[in-house]
Amino acid sequence: MPNPPIQSVGTTPRPHASLTATLDRIAPTRDERLFLVLSIFIGVISGLLVVAFRIAIEWIRLLTLGSAPHGGQFRLLFVPAVAGLIVAALVIWFFPAARGSGVNQTKAALYIYDGYISFRTVIGKFLTSALAIGGGHSLGPEDPSLQIGAGVASIIARNLNLSRRRLRMFAPIGAAAGLAAAFNAPISAILFVIEEVIGSWSAAVLGSLVLSAISSVVVARWFWGPEPLFRIPSIALRDPRELMAYAVLGVFGGLLAPVFSLVLGYLRPRLRALPRWTQFLQPAVAGLLVGAIGFFGFPQVMGTGYDVIDQAMHGQFVWQILLALVFLKLLATTFSFSSGTPGGMFAPTLFIGAMLGGAVGAFEKHFFPHLTGTIGAYSLVGMGVLFAGFLRAPLTSVFMVLEVSGNYSIVLPIILANTLAFLISRGLQPVGIFEIFTQQDGLDLPSMEEQREESVLHIEDALQPASVPIIDGSDTLQAVSQAISEFHATACLVRLMDGSWYAMSTDELNGAAATLAPDTAVQRALKTDRTPALFPDMPLDSALHFFPRWPLLPVLNRASRGTVEGMLTLDDVLRCYRGSE
């Protein structure tokens, strides 16, 4: 069975071309101004919806699983299964685009559907994710929040007839707002959207990203208060030698992350390949399995697990329990996510990371009691470690932990452990989890990790020594002709009094020689334009569009523009690109 499309939009509504042209003429700055104003509205509405989304999850959890779920309660077995059945029916019959986490769906909206996310998708994501997570499935609310935010942005932008380019950029702005409200961490949300959705720093959207993220966090904090997502115990790195202990945690995280990716990457396509009728049952069966884990003594793996992360950070579990929770949560999340139940991967990743960190920290402290780092500190670093290793967002992982903890003194352990986890995980599993899902969905979205690591060619890569005569503007045409013939060159570089340069071809020289006296200064024969100022560190593609005009280009020294570092021809540039393939 072919994979269903990630976004079911047969016809993507787009602003009519003639309407866009008219708008550009009668109100050329309208889009730009609306862009910023709407960013604030998007942030506020996304923040409100995310708050409502979290409350909905909690209400559903309270009503279905009770206020204190614990092992041995039979409802733990059947509630997630029933929730899975309802969610499956809703997704298959009403909200097909609500399936999955939300990150790739938002990327698809950006790169494929011109920023289009339907109102139905937003409603569907809200309802189905809330039901699934509240019903005990091992999934998180952050990725759905990201998609809800992106959807809100898309709906608002569409209704204001903004240009296609603007419309496309609204999705990541809303995504940042949704994620910021869910995490109560604006910087992390902005960084994640840049790292994982947009893929590059763009001044055009950065301002709007910040505005929307800040607005949504202000709204979220108005409701939840300024406290971070978790209560953070006291954290301090008193002895730099303890970095070794955190490095061990980084290594474990780096080894566990690929395991998580492999298990998900293995099970998900196999379940999706099963007959269509089984998709009604898959979330229910996954719910039953997750419920069984809860029923037999580990209800902590059910739902978002924020309270369990909080407990782990406050030393409420021994390392054996923490280790058990690592593997059981990994299993539970794999069942829930692979079955197509809507919900996110962020919270389970943080959960597993926190438990792993707590287990490693408690184990190390048991055998090396002189270590001063608290178990809470290890749990906190563990969250970042798995975030970096599994979700492959290293920068976000560092800032997320800093924002969540509000403690800068943890920065060294985080950077060390996260970097190790990221490098080890990437070495063992080169393809990141979002790319794996993208490939499984039959889409070809850009890989942000690959984009970040693409080597950009610079002018210095194609630079050749100046093999043409370099003459002064005051030299005569006759002298220039002689110099060119001596060099057997097809052009020369003319240095002018004001420090600018001119690349003169032999044809141009011959034309000038035919009309002007031989003792005429060559600068009098030049056209008014000048060769561009190019430097060795500039991107190679910046030189490309000058070649139709100039036979060759001088490459100058940044400290002394009168000094030529070398020259560049179209052949040199093309040879360089071919060589890099």
52 scored as a contact of other proteins (CB under 8 A): yes
C-beta closer to other proteins: residue 33 or 165: 33
Stretch that binds other proteins, among 102-110, 152-160, 195-203, 562-570 (CB under 8 A): 152-160
Stretch that binds other proteins, among 66-74, 128-136, 187-195, 545-553 (CB under 8 A): 66-74
C-beta closer to other proteins: residue 381 or 484: 381
* Distances from the Cα of 459 to the Cα of 7, 10, 560, 562, angstroms: 41, 44, 17, 18
Q: Which helix (H) or strand (E) holds 530?
A: none
Considering only residues 212-241, where is the footprint of other proteins by CB under 8 A? Answer: 223, 231, 233-234
Among residues 371, 237, 373, 257, the alpha carbon closest in space to that of 313 is found at 373
C-beta closer to other proteins: residue 38 or 401: 38
- Minimal distance, residue 2 CB to other proteins, in Å: 38
Helix (H, G, I), strand (E, B) or coil at 16: coil
Output 20-23 pairs: Cβ under 8 A, ≥24 positions apart: 20/163, 20/164, 23/161, 23/163
Considering only residues 511-550, where is the footprint of other proteins by CB under 8 A? Answer: none
Size of the site for other proteins (CB under 8 A): 46
Pair 141, 43: CB distance under 8 Å: no
C-beta closer to other proteins: residue 25 or 545: 25
Among 21, 36, 62, 204, the residue binding other proteins under the rule CB under 8 A is: 62
C-beta closer to other proteins: residue 307 or 450: 307
156 scored as a contact of other proteins (CB under 8 A): yes
- Minimal distance, residue 338 CB to other proteins, in Å: 28
**Cα separation, 536 vs 558, whole angstroms:** 9
Among residues 363, 351, 357, 425, the alpha carbon closest in space to that of 388 is found at 425
Among residues 57, 147, 56, the alpha carbon closest in space to that of 100 is found at 147
C-beta closer to other proteins: residue 45 or 391: 45
C-beta closer to other proteins: residue 41 or 535: 41
Among residues 468, 457, 469, 464, the alpha carbon closest in space to that of 570 is found at 464
Helix (H, G, I), strand (E, B) or coil at 457: coil
Pair 475, 525: CB distance under 8 Å: no
Among 21, 94, 274, 307, the residue binding other proteins under the rule CB under 8 A is: 307
Considering only residues 434-493, where is the footprint of other proteins by CB under 8 A? Answer: none
Considering only residues 10-29, where is the footprint of other proteins by CB under 8 A? Answer: 22-23, 25-29
C-beta closer to other proteins: residue 238 or 558: 238
Considering only residues 246-305, where is the footprint of other proteins by CB under 8 A? Answer: none
| DSSP-assigned letter for residue 465 | -
Considering only residues 359-398, where is the footprint of other proteins by CB under 8 A? Answer: 362, 374-376
C-beta closer to other proteins: residue 44 or 197: 44
Stretch that binds other proteins, among 59-67, 173-181, 254-262, 266-274 (CB under 8 A): 59-67
51 scored as a contact of other proteins (CB under 8 A): yes
159 scored as a contact of other proteins (CB under 8 A): yes
**Cα separation, 286 vs 284, whole angstroms:** 5
Pair 280, 89: CB distance under 8 Å: yes
Stretch that binds other proteins, among 46-54, 120-128, 243-251, 440-448 (CB under 8 A): 46-54
Question: Strand 501-505 to strand 491-495: parallel, antiparallel, or no bridges (unpaired)?
Answer: antiparallel
C-beta closer to other proteins: residue 320 or 490: 320
Nearest 5°: the CA angle 313, 264, 287 is 75
Among 6, 9, 44, 289, the residue binding other proteins under the rule CB under 8 A is: 44
Sequence-separated (6 or more) residues with CB below 8 Å from residue 143: 101, 102, 103, 343, 344, 345, 346
**Cα separation, 86 vs 84, whole angstroms:** 6
Stretch that binds other proteins, among 34-42, 188-196, 407-415, 484-492 (CB under 8 A): 34-42
55 scored as a contact of other proteins (CB under 8 A): yes
- Minimal distance, residue 320 CB to other proteins, in Å: 9
- Minimal distance, residue 325 CB to other proteins, in Å: 14
316 scored as a contact of other proteins (CB under 8 A): yes
Pair 415, 385: CB distance under 8 Å: no
C-beta closer to other proteins: residue 171 or 235: 235
| DSSP-assigned letter for residue 527 | -
Among 8, 13, 16, 33, the residue binding other proteins under the rule CB under 8 A is: 33
Question: Strand 501-505 to strand 553-556: parallel, antiparallel, or no bridges (unpaired)?
Answer: unpaired
Among 9, 15, 39, 45, the residue binding other proteins under the rule CB under 8 A is: 45
C-beta closer to other proteins: residue 2 or 28: 28
Q: Is the dihedral of CA 414, 417, 419, 421 positive or negative?
A: negative
Q: Residue by residue, what is the 3-state secondary structure of 474-507?
A: CCEHHHHHHHHHHHCCCEEEEECCCCCEEEEEHH
Task: Kindly list the residues in this chain that would bind other proteins in the complex (CB under 8 A).
Answer: 22-23, 25-30, 33-34, 37-38, 41, 44-45, 48-49, 51-52, 55-56, 58-59, 62, 67-68, 70, 156, 159-160, 223, 231, 233-234, 307, 310-311, 314-318, 362, 374-376
